[in-house]
């Protein structure tokens, strides 16, 4: 079997200049992956786009897969930071459940719409290593735990098994939005999708299980 590629950065930037170089590489890499896809993206193209030498790129990343892993981790962290912030605000303000669900779905759509082609490369084209997929599952489980706590505290949510419901809510919205952005169905807009998801979740969350 061929040796597994190194997927971790060679070194972490500490100086302002080196941090700026790494940031330029990651920004350029996102653009190159979006334009050329996983197969067509090369370290030469990324370095040229970033305005650095290939040697400078290799000081920080051993190959394009390591860059891709860094981009994926950044994408995951940004997404969960967004929804976590939304949940924190909801816990403080206690908005009506329908309004919160709509905000959540709109935020998820906006997140996926930012760089849809990059999202496609990261999660449908690239051979992400198991460590990254484990990190994604871990963050999803953390998020589901936070949603579970919110459901238990919200007076409109009537599901008794909040843990199972939170898991279903998180993975249902993520799957629906992911497929809508990357494989948009003809004649269906984001507003219509949002309302349909909200109706579905609201009906599920407010139905009394005894009825």
Does 59 map to a domain? no
**Is-contact 53 47, C-beta < 8 A?**
yes
Does 63 map to a domain? no
Structural domain for 134, as ranges? 69-206
* Alpha carbons 1 and 62: distance in angstroms, whole number: 20
- pLDDT tens-digit series, residues 149-180: 888 888 888 877 889 999 999 899 989 998 99
Q: What is the pTM of this model?
A: 0.76
User: Which CATH number fits the domain that encloses residue 151?
Assistant: 1.10.357.10
Domain count, the chain: 1
CA torsion sign for 172, 142, 125, 112 is positive
Does 31 map to a domain? no
- pLDDT tens-digit series, residues 59-109: 999 999 999 999 988 888 887 887 778 777 777 777 889 988 998 898 888
Does 57 map to a domain? no
Does 47 map to a domain? no
Nearest CA-CA partner of 177 in 117, 109, 119 = 109
Does 196 map to a domain? yes
Nearest CA-CA partner of 48 in 68, 29, 72 = 29
């Amino acid at each position: 079997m061929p040796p597994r590629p190194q997927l971790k950065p060679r070194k972490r930037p500490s100086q302002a200049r080196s941090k700026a170089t790494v940031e330029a590489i990651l920004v350029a890499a996102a653009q190159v992956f979006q334009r050329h896809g996983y197969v067509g993206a090369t370290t030469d193209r990324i370095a040229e786009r970033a305005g650095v030498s290939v040697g400078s790129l290799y000081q920080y990343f051993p190959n394009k897969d390591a860059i891709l892993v860094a981009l994926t981790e950044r994408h995951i962290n940004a997404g969960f930071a967004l929804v976590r912030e939304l949940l924190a605000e909801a816990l403080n303000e206690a908005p009506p459940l329908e309004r919160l669900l709509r905000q959540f779905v709109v935020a998820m759509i906006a997140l996926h719409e930012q760089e849809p082609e990059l999202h496609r490369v990261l999660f449908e084209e690239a051979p992400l290593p198991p460590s990254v997929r484990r990190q994604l599952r871990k963050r999803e489980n953390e998020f589901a735990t936070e949603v579970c706590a919110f459901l238990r505290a919200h007076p409109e949510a009537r599901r008794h098994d909040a843990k199972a419901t939170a898991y279903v809510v998180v993975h249902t919205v993520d799957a629906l939005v992911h497929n809508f952005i990357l494989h948009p169905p003809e004649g269906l807009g984001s507003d219509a999708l949002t309302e349909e998801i909200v109706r579905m979740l609201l009906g599920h969350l407010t139905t009394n299980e005894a009825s």
